[in-house]
């Protein structure tokens, strides 16, 4: 993952949000994300992590504060086609084959279609031979791979992932994490990952933002850097455990 770019892909400044008048979810939240970097949001349950992703994606409007993507104010209409949001369960259309699902973003004019070809995408995620299969014929991990393939046929400036691997077993989570890193590195997009797993945050992200309990605010930002590539071998190393412990100690 590139760590030498200074231009910001995402800037969140003094962001506050409430559901109704009484339920304050976020208060004066600020953080930023450089181009081609991955930022992980961790924090206690209900601290507003998913809300942040939905605010950045333009599905919610902040009460106050500002969200800028690539230097411009994030208006929902302008975001269309440039930001991708992954929810907790892989969103595949059950009436389409895997190939049809991967082709989906290319059917819309606002999407930059200069990504990988469908064949390349299928090969990258290792789903050759399953192009004509329907989602119900695929395992959880394969569905996630199909979602990744869909991610790389289009060019996105920013990818938001909300607990993307929560429905997978431990082995598949690691495998998908590794695949995500490879894809992010090759397609060079910025990403925000919302996760409950500190290990996952440390493994995937360049920067971890620790949030307080509701109303969520930034407790700490921690930059993660490892020598050498981020492969599954890293998960067994002491430096990885040290980083996990650091983040854990920052949690409220």
Closer residue to another protein in complex, CB, 133/172: 133
**Shortest approach of another protein to residue 96 CB, angstroms?**
8
User: Which residues contact another protein by CB under 8 A?
Assistant: 57, 59, 79-81, 83-85, 87, 89, 91, 93-95, 104-105, 107-111, 134-136, 154
Q: What is the DSSP track for 73-105? A: E--HHHHTTTEEEE-SS----TTS-HHHHHHGG
How far is it, in rounded angstroms, from Cα 185 to Cα 204? 11
HSE-CB at 89 with a 13 A cutoff on CA atoms is 5
Q: Which two tokens stand for residue 195?
A: 């996760």
Q: Give the burial class of 185: count Cβ atoms within 10 A of its Cβ; 0-12 exposed, 13-18 middle, 19 or more buried.
A: middle
Cβ closer to another protein: 90 or 215? Answer: 90
38 vs 151, beta carbon nearer another protein:
151
Closest distance of CB 134 from another protein, Å: 7
Please say whether the beta carbons of 232 and 27 come within 8 A: no
Closer of 154 and 202 to another protein (Cβ): 154
> Least distance in Å: CB of 137 to another protein?
8
Shortest Å distance, C-beta 34 to another protein? 22
Q: Which of 136, 227 has the CB closer to another protein?
A: 136
Beta carbon of residue 150, minimum distance to another protein (angstroms, whole number): 9
Write the DSSP symbol of residue 115: S
């Amino acid at each position: 993952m590139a760590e030498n770019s200074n231009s910001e892909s995402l800037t969140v400044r003094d962001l506050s949000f409430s559901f109704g008048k009484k339920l304050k979810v976020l208060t004066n939240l600020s953080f930023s994300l450089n181009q081609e970097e991955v930022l992980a949001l961790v924090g206690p349950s209900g601290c507003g992590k998913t809300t942040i992703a939905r605010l950045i994606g333009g599905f919610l409007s902040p009460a106050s504060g500002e969200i800028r993507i690539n230097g411009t104010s994030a208006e929902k209409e302008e975001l269309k086609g440039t930001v991708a949001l992954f929810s907790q369960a892989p969103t595949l259309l059950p009436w389409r084959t895997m190939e049809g699902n991967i082709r989906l973003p290319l059917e819309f004019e606002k999407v930059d279609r200069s990504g990988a070809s469908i064949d390349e995408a299928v090969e990258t995620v290792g789903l050759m031979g399953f192009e004509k299969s329907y989602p119900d014929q695929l395992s959880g991990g394969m569905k996630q791979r199909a979602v990744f393939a869909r991610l790389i046929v289009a060019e996105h400036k920013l990818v938001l992932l909300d607990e993307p691997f929560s429905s997978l077993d431990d082995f598949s989570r690691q495998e998908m994490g590794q695949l995500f890193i490879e894809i992010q590195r090759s397609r060079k997009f910025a990403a925000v990952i919302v996760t409950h797993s500190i290990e996952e945050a440390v493994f995937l992200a360049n920067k971890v933002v620790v949030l307080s309990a509701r109303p969520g605010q930034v407790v700490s930002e921690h930059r993660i850097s490892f020598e050498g590539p981020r492969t599954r071998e890293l998960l067994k190393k002491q430096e990885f455990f040290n980083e996990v412990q650091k983040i854990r100690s920052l949690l409220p």
